[in-house]
Amino acid sequence: MNISGVIFEALESLNANKMRSALTIIGVVIGVGAVIAMLSLGEGVQASISGQISDIGSNLLFVFSGNEDEEVRNVTPLKEADVAALNDPFNAPSVQTAVASIGGRVEASYGGESSSVSMTGTTASYASVRDIELEEGEFLTDDHQLGVASVAVIGPDVADKLFGRRDGVVGETIRLAGQPLRVIGLTEAKGGSATGSEDNVVFVPLASARTRLVSRSIVGEVDTIYVQAVDADSVTAASQEVTELLRSRHRLQPGAADDFTIFSQDSIASMAESITNVLIIFLGGVAGISLLVGGIGIMNIMLVSVTERTREIGLRKALGARKSHILTQFLTESALLSLIGGLLGVLLGWGLSKVVSIIAIQSGTDITPVFTIGTVLLATLFSAAVGIFFGIYPANRAASLEPVEALRHE
């Protein structure tokens, strides 16, 4: 028998039970739709997170004190002198800039308004390393460091909370933990990110932060060193140079564990990716369960159909249908049910994820669903496979009927 004939006949018999076929197909539509929506939204979330990570800056390394993997005694803290050494091209040729920061949460106030903000004490090169653009005014300069100036650059959220506006805030004086600071700049909005708001921040000169805002028991101690590599290819080399330099400066014996930790932007990105991958698999799995339920629906309806058509099967056998003919006929029907469901499900999934994305964007989270041919093919082929898998049992039951018994069936 030719394929088009088999398909035509299967369509004919599905058409004979329109309502039943439609309901069975809906089960698959919902399953495939859910899988498609979850996968495309998951990939959208992944793209959005990796976008945010690349917004942090480019070719970055983050250096912290301490080691989370191995226990290290007598941790030597990171100091401003380390930063100065890293900035020496003779020591670390792959490092473009290293910049120190110390920080913490402090109370900012202006007039009667007050708000808890994330304060960062740092130096002039922070702006270029962390890709900070200014809306108004200027960033911290070397002069501010030398003069231990009482100045601050604030983020847009801080401006909103303290002033209720973003225009003309430069020149105002705010209080940070009681200390008066003159606002010299306002940063551009970066939006929320996985690492907390980048907009609810106040930057102050490192020297001013150290003397007036945070107390560190060790002279010259810093919390984080941001290291920018010369280019993308030299990130690994830079990381090695930082390691060697810090080890020698901290006088670590060969074989001793590092007393500092280096994260690269890539490692954060890949960590985020592995987390979102788990998320995608989880969501896809939950959606897959509904596809499974749809498949069971197909099996159920095919079993009913086989019972109803026992006589027809007996007749076909009497007319010379082999086992394989009957098997093919019923498998084609169940595969068609799920394939039609799969194609409609792709459309539903596409619509569903568009709706979710519109709602997410309106509530401030930028998720653009990602559709790939791969996703669509996967869902369609998977649904056809579900149809065949759940069709095998009923079809085999039909094909194994004894012709005499089947013909006698009322």
Partner 1 sequence: MNDIVIEARDLVKSYQMGEIEVHALAGVSFDIQRGELLSIMGPSGAGKSTLMNILGCLDLPTGGDYILDGEHVSDLSQDELADIRNRKVGFVFQSFNLLSRSSALANVTLPMRYAGVSNAERKERATKALQSVGLGDRIYHRPTELSGGQQQRVAIARALVNHPAILMADEPTGNLDSKSGREIMDLLLSLNRDQGVTVIVVTHDPEVSAQTDRIITLKDGVLEKAV
Q: Site residues (CB under 8 A) for partner 1?
A: 1-2, 5, 12-13, 15-16, 311-312, 315-325, 402-404, 407
Comparing CB distances to partner 1, the nearer of 325 and 354 is 325
Does residue 242 contact residue 235 with C-beta atoms inside 8 Å? no
Compute the least distance from the CB of residue 13 to partner 1, in Å.
7
Compute the least distance from the CB of residue 1 to partner 1, in Å.
5
Residue 288: Cβ within 10 Å count: 18
Comparing CB distances to partner 1, the nearer of 63 and 406 is 406
Comparing CB distances to partner 1, the nearer of 310 and 357 is 310
Name which of 386, 390, 360, 401 is nearest 31 in CA terms.
Answer: 386
Residue type, 230: V
Compute the least distance from the CB of residue 388 to partner 1, in Å.
22
Q: Encoding tokens for residue 32?
A: 């495939």
Compute the least distance from the CB of residue 397 to partner 1, in Å.
15
Return the bridge partners of 180, or none: 175
Return the bridge partners of 61, or none: 227, 264
- 135 by DSSP, 3-state: which? strand
Comparing CB distances to partner 1, the nearer of 354 and 409 is 409
Compute the least distance from the CB of residue 352 to partner 1, in Å.
35
Compute the least distance from the CB of residue 52 to partner 1, in Å.
58
Comparing CB distances to partner 1, the nearer of 12 and 244 is 12
Pairing of strands 201-205, 60-65: unpaired
Locate all alpha helices (DSSP H) within 62-125, ordered by sequence: 80-86
Compute the least distance from the CB of residue 30 to partner 1, in Å.
28
Comparing CB distances to partner 1, the nearer of 17 and 67 is 17
Comparing CB distances to partner 1, the nearer of 96 and 332 is 332
Burial of 130 (0-12, 13-18, 19+ CB in 10 A): buried
Comparing CB distances to partner 1, the nearer of 1 and 232 is 1
Compute the least distance from the CB of residue 320 to partner 1, in Å.
2
The sign one gets for the Cα dihedral 148, 134, 181, 129 is negative
Compute the least distance from the CB of residue 313 to partner 1, in Å.
11
Angle CA(10)–CA(14)–CA(20) in degrees, nearest 5?
155
Name which of 44, 46, 35, 87 is nearest 63 in CA terms.
Answer: 87
- 254 by DSSP, 3-state: which? coil
Please give the C-alpha separations between residue 251 and each of 72, 119, 244, 295, in angstroms, as whole numbers: 13, 32, 10, 65
Dist. CA 92–CA 240, nearest whole Å:
9
Compute the least distance from the CB of residue 322 to partner 1, in Å.
5
Please report which helix (H) or strand (E) contains residue 288, including its range.
helix 265-308
Does residue 333 contact residue 24 with C-beta atoms inside 8 Å? no
Comparing CB distances to partner 1, the nearer of 13 and 115 is 13
Residue type, 27: G
Return the bridge partners of 122, or none: 101, 205
Comparing CB distances to partner 1, the nearer of 8 and 282 is 8
